[in-house]
Amino acid sequence: MTTNAAPSRVDQAGQAAVRAEPAVVIDGLSHRYPKADVLALDDVNLRMASGSFTAVLGPNGSGKSTLFRILTTAVRATGKPGVVPRVTILGHDLRVGAHAIRQRLGVVFQSPSLDSELSVVENLRLQGRVYGMSGSELRRRIPERLEAVGLSDRAHDRVGTLSGGLARRAELAKALLHDPRILILDEPSTGVDPTARRQFWQSLEAERRRSGLTVLMTTHLTDEAEAADNVVVLSRGRVVAEGSPAALKADSRAVLAVATRDADALLVIAEDLVERFGGDRLPERVFGEARIELAEGAAALRWVLDEHGGAVRSVTLSEPTLEDVFERTTGTIFTQV
Protein backbone atom coordinates (compact mmCIF):
# COMPACT_ATOMS: atom_id res chain seq x y z
CA MET A 1 0.00 0.00 0.00
CA THR A 2 1.28 3.50 -0.75
CA THR A 3 0.65 6.43 1.56
CA ASN A 4 1.23 10.16 1.30
CA ALA A 5 2.62 10.30 4.84
CA ALA A 6 5.67 12.52 5.45
CA PRO A 7 8.95 10.58 5.44
CA SER A 8 9.81 9.02 8.80
CA ARG A 9 12.92 10.08 10.70
CA VAL A 10 14.69 7.02 9.29
CA ASP A 11 13.67 7.95 5.70
CA GLN A 12 14.83 11.52 6.19
CA ALA A 13 18.14 10.35 7.63
CA GLY A 14 18.53 7.94 4.71
CA GLN A 15 17.82 10.66 2.15
CA ALA A 16 20.30 12.99 3.85
CA ALA A 17 22.89 10.20 3.77
CA VAL A 18 22.30 9.74 0.04
CA ARG A 19 22.69 13.47 -0.57
CA ALA A 20 25.82 13.58 1.60
CA GLU A 21 27.44 10.67 -0.30
CA PRO A 22 30.46 12.18 -2.10
CA ALA A 23 30.25 12.18 -5.91
CA VAL A 24 33.81 10.86 -6.12
CA VAL A 25 35.65 8.72 -3.56
CA ILE A 26 39.31 7.83 -4.19
CA ASP A 27 41.10 5.54 -1.76
CA GLY A 28 44.68 4.35 -2.14
CA LEU A 29 44.97 5.21 -5.84
CA SER A 30 48.41 4.39 -7.28
CA HIS A 31 49.41 3.93 -10.88
CA ARG A 32 52.64 2.66 -12.40
CA TYR A 33 53.36 2.89 -16.13
CA PRO A 34 54.85 -0.58 -16.50
CA LYS A 35 57.09 -0.07 -19.55
CA ALA A 36 58.67 3.15 -18.27
CA ASP A 37 58.51 1.82 -14.69
CA VAL A 38 57.27 5.22 -13.46
CA LEU A 39 55.06 5.47 -10.39
CA ALA A 40 52.86 8.34 -11.66
CA LEU A 41 50.36 8.28 -8.77
CA ASP A 42 51.27 7.19 -5.28
CA ASP A 43 48.50 6.49 -2.76
CA VAL A 44 46.12 9.33 -3.65
CA ASN A 45 43.07 9.71 -1.40
CA LEU A 46 40.34 12.24 -2.22
CA ARG A 47 36.68 12.99 -1.61
CA MET A 48 34.64 15.24 -3.90
CA ALA A 49 31.31 16.38 -2.48
CA SER A 50 28.37 16.36 -4.84
CA GLY A 51 28.12 19.76 -6.58
CA SER A 52 31.61 20.80 -5.51
CA PHE A 53 34.43 22.22 -7.62
CA THR A 54 37.88 20.67 -7.15
CA ALA A 55 41.05 21.99 -8.80
CA VAL A 56 44.13 19.79 -9.10
CA LEU A 57 47.33 21.85 -9.30
CA GLY A 58 50.76 20.40 -9.89
CA PRO A 59 54.03 20.91 -11.73
CA ASN A 60 54.84 19.07 -14.96
CA GLY A 61 55.03 15.35 -14.42
CA SER A 62 53.21 15.43 -11.05
CA GLY A 63 50.51 13.01 -12.21
CA LYS A 64 47.61 15.33 -13.12
CA SER A 65 47.01 13.83 -16.56
CA THR A 66 47.32 10.31 -15.17
CA LEU A 67 44.62 11.09 -12.61
CA PHE A 68 42.48 12.58 -15.41
CA ARG A 69 42.95 9.48 -17.61
CA ILE A 70 42.01 7.12 -14.78
CA LEU A 71 38.92 9.07 -13.70
CA THR A 72 37.70 9.39 -17.30
CA THR A 73 38.06 5.57 -17.59
CA ALA A 74 40.72 5.82 -20.35
CA VAL A 75 43.39 4.09 -18.23
CA ARG A 76 42.96 1.34 -15.65
CA ALA A 77 44.88 2.01 -12.43
CA THR A 78 47.51 -0.61 -11.67
CA GLY A 79 47.63 -0.01 -7.90
CA LYS A 80 50.70 -0.94 -5.86
CA PRO A 81 51.69 -4.40 -4.66
CA GLY A 82 49.27 -5.43 -1.93
CA VAL A 83 47.01 -2.35 -2.34
CA VAL A 84 43.94 -2.45 -4.57
CA PRO A 85 42.82 1.12 -5.36
CA ARG A 86 39.17 1.88 -4.74
CA VAL A 87 37.60 4.60 -6.87
CA THR A 88 33.87 5.17 -6.74
CA ILE A 89 32.15 7.68 -9.01
CA LEU A 90 28.46 8.42 -8.39
CA GLY A 91 28.27 5.18 -6.45
CA HIS A 92 29.79 3.04 -9.24
CA ASP A 93 33.07 1.21 -8.71
CA LEU A 94 35.44 2.28 -11.49
CA ARG A 95 36.73 -1.29 -11.98
CA VAL A 96 33.32 -2.77 -12.84
CA GLY A 97 31.07 0.21 -13.54
CA ALA A 98 33.02 2.12 -16.21
CA HIS A 99 30.13 1.99 -18.69
CA ALA A 100 27.61 3.45 -16.22
CA ILE A 101 30.14 6.10 -15.18
CA ARG A 102 30.76 7.22 -18.78
CA GLN A 103 27.03 7.85 -19.26
CA ARG A 104 27.10 10.43 -16.46
CA LEU A 105 30.50 11.95 -17.11
CA GLY A 106 31.36 14.95 -19.30
CA VAL A 107 34.97 15.43 -20.37
CA VAL A 108 36.82 18.48 -21.69
CA PHE A 109 40.22 17.49 -23.07
CA GLN A 110 43.26 19.73 -23.19
CA SER A 111 43.55 19.33 -26.97
CA PRO A 112 40.64 19.93 -29.35
CA SER A 113 38.25 16.99 -29.76
CA LEU A 114 35.88 18.66 -32.25
CA ASP A 115 36.16 18.06 -36.00
CA SER A 116 37.35 21.39 -37.40
CA GLU A 117 35.85 20.63 -40.84
CA LEU A 118 32.31 20.27 -39.44
CA SER A 119 30.05 23.00 -38.08
CA VAL A 120 29.42 23.34 -34.35
CA VAL A 121 25.94 21.83 -34.71
CA GLU A 122 27.22 18.90 -36.82
CA ASN A 123 29.81 18.14 -34.14
CA LEU A 124 27.15 18.20 -31.42
CA ARG A 125 24.85 15.93 -33.44
CA LEU A 126 27.66 13.37 -33.73
CA GLN A 127 28.28 13.58 -30.00
CA GLY A 128 24.55 13.14 -29.32
CA ARG A 129 24.45 9.96 -31.39
CA VAL A 130 27.36 8.55 -29.36
CA TYR A 131 25.10 8.94 -26.32
CA GLY A 132 22.11 7.43 -28.13
CA MET A 133 20.05 10.64 -28.28
CA SER A 134 17.08 10.78 -30.60
CA GLY A 135 16.32 13.42 -33.24
CA SER A 136 13.78 15.41 -31.21
CA GLU A 137 15.90 15.26 -28.08
CA LEU A 138 18.90 16.53 -30.02
CA ARG A 139 16.86 19.30 -31.67
CA ARG A 140 15.94 20.49 -28.17
CA ARG A 141 19.29 20.04 -26.43
CA ILE A 142 21.71 21.42 -29.01
CA PRO A 143 20.25 24.97 -29.09
CA GLU A 144 19.91 24.88 -25.28
CA ARG A 145 23.58 24.02 -24.81
CA LEU A 146 24.75 26.50 -27.44
CA GLU A 147 22.78 29.25 -25.76
CA ALA A 148 24.25 28.29 -22.37
CA VAL A 149 27.79 28.77 -23.68
CA GLY A 150 26.92 31.88 -25.75
CA LEU A 151 27.45 30.26 -29.16
CA SER A 152 23.94 30.36 -30.67
CA ASP A 153 24.99 32.80 -33.39
CA ARG A 154 27.92 30.59 -34.47
CA ALA A 155 25.99 27.30 -34.52
CA HIS A 156 26.40 26.74 -38.27
CA ASP A 157 29.97 27.98 -38.57
CA ARG A 158 32.77 25.54 -39.19
CA VAL A 159 34.67 24.86 -35.94
CA GLY A 160 37.92 25.60 -37.79
CA THR A 161 36.79 29.23 -38.23
CA LEU A 162 36.19 29.85 -34.50
CA SER A 163 38.69 31.71 -32.31
CA GLY A 164 40.50 29.65 -29.65
CA GLY A 165 38.14 30.91 -26.92
CA LEU A 166 34.95 30.14 -28.89
CA ALA A 167 36.28 26.70 -29.82
CA ARG A 168 36.81 25.99 -26.11
CA ARG A 169 33.20 26.96 -25.40
CA ALA A 170 32.09 24.63 -28.19
CA GLU A 171 34.07 21.86 -26.43
CA LEU A 172 32.18 22.71 -23.24
CA ALA A 173 28.81 22.51 -25.05
CA LYS A 174 29.84 19.08 -26.38
CA ALA A 175 30.86 17.84 -22.92
CA LEU A 176 27.57 19.03 -21.40
CA LEU A 177 25.27 17.80 -24.18
CA HIS A 178 24.16 14.61 -22.44
CA ASP A 179 23.55 16.42 -19.11
CA PRO A 180 26.38 14.78 -17.15
CA ARG A 181 26.49 14.83 -13.34
CA ILE A 182 30.27 15.17 -13.26
CA LEU A 183 32.49 17.24 -15.52
CA ILE A 184 36.23 16.55 -15.71
CA LEU A 185 38.44 19.09 -17.45
CA ASP A 186 42.15 18.72 -18.25
CA GLU A 187 43.80 22.16 -18.27
CA PRO A 188 40.87 23.60 -20.25
CA SER A 189 42.28 27.13 -20.68
CA THR A 190 45.70 26.26 -22.04
CA GLY A 191 46.56 28.77 -24.75
CA VAL A 192 43.34 30.79 -24.35
CA ASP A 193 43.49 34.56 -23.80
CA PRO A 194 42.23 36.06 -20.48
CA THR A 195 38.94 37.44 -21.88
CA ALA A 196 38.04 34.12 -23.50
CA ARG A 197 39.02 32.29 -20.31
CA ARG A 198 36.67 34.51 -18.28
CA GLN A 199 33.79 33.80 -20.70
CA PHE A 200 34.52 30.06 -20.53
CA TRP A 201 34.41 30.16 -16.73
CA GLN A 202 31.23 32.24 -16.67
CA SER A 203 29.52 29.61 -18.87
CA LEU A 204 30.75 26.83 -16.62
CA GLU A 205 29.67 28.66 -13.44
CA ALA A 206 26.20 29.23 -14.89
CA GLU A 207 25.95 25.51 -15.68
CA ARG A 208 27.07 24.59 -12.15
CA ARG A 209 24.39 26.85 -10.66
CA ARG A 210 21.74 25.46 -13.01
CA SER A 211 22.43 21.77 -12.61
CA GLY A 212 24.53 21.27 -9.46
CA LEU A 213 27.28 19.72 -11.58
CA THR A 214 30.34 18.30 -9.76
CA VAL A 215 33.52 19.64 -11.39
CA LEU A 216 37.10 18.37 -11.31
CA MET A 217 39.73 20.31 -13.20
CA THR A 218 43.47 19.97 -13.60
CA THR A 219 45.21 23.29 -14.08
CA HIS A 220 48.49 25.17 -14.14
CA LEU A 221 46.73 28.44 -13.32
CA THR A 222 46.31 29.49 -9.70
CA ASP A 223 43.70 32.15 -10.55
CA GLU A 224 41.47 29.34 -11.84
CA ALA A 225 42.18 27.27 -8.74
CA GLU A 226 41.19 30.29 -6.59
CA ALA A 227 37.59 29.77 -7.70
CA ALA A 228 37.52 26.13 -6.50
CA ASP A 229 35.95 24.86 -3.28
CA ASN A 230 38.87 22.49 -2.82
CA VAL A 231 42.41 22.66 -4.19
CA VAL A 232 44.55 19.53 -4.36
CA VAL A 233 48.29 20.04 -4.90
CA LEU A 234 50.04 17.05 -6.50
CA SER A 235 53.80 16.56 -6.48
CA ARG A 236 55.54 13.43 -7.79
CA GLY A 237 52.25 11.57 -7.74
CA ARG A 238 51.39 12.38 -4.13
CA VAL A 239 48.90 14.83 -2.62
CA VAL A 240 51.12 17.31 -0.75
CA ALA A 241 48.42 19.84 0.20
CA GLU A 242 44.64 19.97 0.13
CA GLY A 243 42.00 22.45 1.28
CA SER A 244 40.02 25.50 0.27
CA PRO A 245 42.16 28.29 -1.23
CA ALA A 246 41.55 30.37 1.92
CA ALA A 247 42.56 27.52 4.25
CA LEU A 248 45.68 26.72 2.25
CA LYS A 249 46.77 30.36 2.38
CA ALA A 250 45.88 30.65 6.07
CA ASP A 251 48.21 27.70 6.73
CA SER A 252 51.04 29.58 5.03
CA ARG A 253 53.08 32.48 6.37
CA ALA A 254 53.81 35.90 4.87
CA VAL A 255 56.47 36.06 2.17
CA LEU A 256 59.38 38.50 2.34
CA ALA A 257 61.11 39.10 -0.99
CA VAL A 258 64.55 40.70 -0.89
CA ALA A 259 66.62 41.81 -3.86
CA THR A 260 70.16 43.14 -3.52
CA ARG A 261 72.70 44.72 -5.82
CA ASP A 262 75.22 42.03 -4.96
CA ALA A 263 74.72 38.23 -5.01
CA ASP A 264 76.98 37.62 -1.97
CA ALA A 265 75.00 40.10 0.13
CA LEU A 266 71.79 38.32 -0.84
CA LEU A 267 73.15 35.00 0.34
CA VAL A 268 74.16 36.47 3.72
CA ILE A 269 70.80 38.20 4.24
CA ALA A 270 68.80 35.11 3.23
CA GLU A 271 70.77 32.84 5.55
CA ASP A 272 70.46 35.34 8.43
CA LEU A 273 66.73 35.68 7.90
CA VAL A 274 66.21 31.92 7.99
CA GLU A 275 68.34 31.61 11.13
CA ARG A 276 66.90 34.57 13.04
CA PHE A 277 63.24 34.30 12.06
CA GLY A 278 62.93 30.57 11.41
CA GLY A 279 61.80 31.13 7.82
CA ASP A 280 61.71 28.76 4.84
CA ARG A 281 63.37 29.82 1.63
CA LEU A 282 61.11 29.42 -1.40
CA PRO A 283 62.43 28.58 -4.88
CA GLU A 284 63.92 31.64 -6.60
CA ARG A 285 61.52 33.08 -9.20
CA VAL A 286 63.61 36.03 -10.32
CA PHE A 287 67.39 35.85 -10.50
CA GLY A 288 68.88 37.86 -7.61
CA GLU A 289 65.74 37.83 -5.45
CA ALA A 290 65.40 35.68 -2.32
CA ARG A 291 61.87 34.85 -1.09
CA ILE A 292 61.44 33.66 2.46
CA GLU A 293 58.23 32.51 4.10
CA LEU A 294 58.20 33.51 7.79
CA ALA A 295 55.88 34.18 10.70
CA GLU A 296 57.23 37.54 11.88
CA GLY A 297 57.16 39.27 8.51
CA ALA A 298 56.98 42.87 9.76
CA ALA A 299 59.84 42.40 12.24
CA ALA A 300 61.95 40.69 9.56
CA LEU A 301 61.27 43.51 7.11
CA ARG A 302 62.41 46.11 9.68
CA TRP A 303 65.47 44.02 10.48
CA VAL A 304 66.51 43.81 6.80
CA LEU A 305 66.20 47.59 6.41
CA ASP A 306 68.01 48.37 9.71
CA GLU A 307 70.86 45.91 9.24
CA HIS A 308 71.26 45.71 5.47
CA GLY A 309 69.52 48.83 4.13
CA GLY A 310 72.62 49.86 2.17
CA ALA A 311 72.82 46.57 0.24
CA VAL A 312 69.12 46.15 -0.49
CA ARG A 313 67.60 47.11 -3.85
CA SER A 314 64.03 46.24 -2.84
CA VAL A 315 62.21 44.46 -0.05
CA THR A 316 58.51 43.59 -0.02
CA LEU A 317 56.26 41.74 2.39
CA SER A 318 53.14 40.04 0.97
CA GLU A 319 50.29 37.87 2.15
CA PRO A 320 50.81 34.30 0.89
CA THR A 321 49.24 33.48 -2.47
CA LEU A 322 48.30 30.08 -3.91
CA GLU A 323 51.53 30.34 -5.96
CA ASP A 324 53.48 30.50 -2.69
CA VAL A 325 51.58 27.49 -1.32
CA PHE A 326 52.32 25.62 -4.54
CA GLU A 327 56.04 26.47 -4.41
CA ARG A 328 56.44 25.61 -0.72
CA THR A 329 54.65 22.28 -1.02
CA THR A 330 56.12 21.15 -4.35
CA GLY A 331 59.56 22.82 -4.14
CA THR A 332 58.97 23.90 -7.76
CA ILE A 333 58.80 27.38 -9.23
CA PHE A 334 55.30 28.22 -10.33
CA THR A 335 55.23 28.78 -14.07
CA GLN A 336 52.19 29.79 -16.09
CA VAL A 337 52.40 27.39 -19.00
Ligand X SMILES: Nc1ncnc2c1ncn2[C@@H]1O[C@H](COP(=O)(O)OP(=O)(O)OP(=O)(O)O)[C@@H](O)[C@H]1O
- Give the footprint of ligand X on this chain (CB under 6 A): 33, 36, 38, 40, 58, 60-66
State which residue, 57 or 325, has the beta carbon closest to ligand X: 57
Distance CA 145, CA 261 (A): 57
Q: How far is the CB of 225 from ligand X (least distance, A)?
A: 14
State which residue, 64 or 249, has the beta carbon closest to ligand X: 64
State which residue, 112 or 150, has the beta carbon closest to ligand X: 112
State which residue, 120 or 231, has the beta carbon closest to ligand X: 231
Beta bridge partners of 255: 293, 318
Residue 105 makes CB contacts below 8 A (sequence gap 6+) with 72, 73, 89, 180, 181, 182, 183, 184
Distance CA 92, CA 54 (A): 20
State which residue, 68 or 277, has the beta carbon closest to ligand X: 68
Helix (H) or strand (E) holding 42: strand 38-48
Report angle CA 305, 307, 309 to the nearest 5 degrees: 40
Q: How far is the CB of 223 from ligand X (least distance, A)?
A: 17
Q: How far is the CB of 41 from ligand X (least distance, A)?
A: 8
Alpha helices in the chain (DSSP H): 9-20, 64-71, 98-103, 120-130, 135-148, 164-176, 194-211, 222-225, 245-250, 263-277, 297-308, 322-330
Whose CB is nearest to ligand X? Answer: 65
State which residue, 38 or 84, has the beta carbon closest to ligand X: 38
Q: How far is the CB of 35 from ligand X (least distance, A)?
A: 6
Q: How far is the CB of 234 from ligand X (least distance, A)?
A: 7
Q: How far is the CB of 192 from ligand X (least distance, A)?
A: 16
Q: For residue 187, which of 146, 143, 224, 150 has the smallest C-alpha distance?
A: 224
Q: How far is the CB of 316 from ligand X (least distance, A)?
A: 30
Report angle CA 329, 333, 335 to the nearest 5 degrees: 120
Residue 48 makes CB contacts below 8 A (sequence gap 6+) with 22, 23, 24, 25, 54, 214, 216, 230
State which residue, 220 or 253, has the beta carbon closest to ligand X: 220
Q: For residue 156, which of 170, 172, 168 has the smallest C-alpha distance?
A: 170
CA max distance for the chain: 88
Distance CA 57, CA 232 (A): 6
Q: How far is the CB of 245 from ligand X (least distance, A)?
A: 20
State which residue, 64 or 141, has the beta carbon closest to ligand X: 64
Q: For residue 315, which of 328, 299, 331, 330 has the smallest C-alpha distance?
A: 299
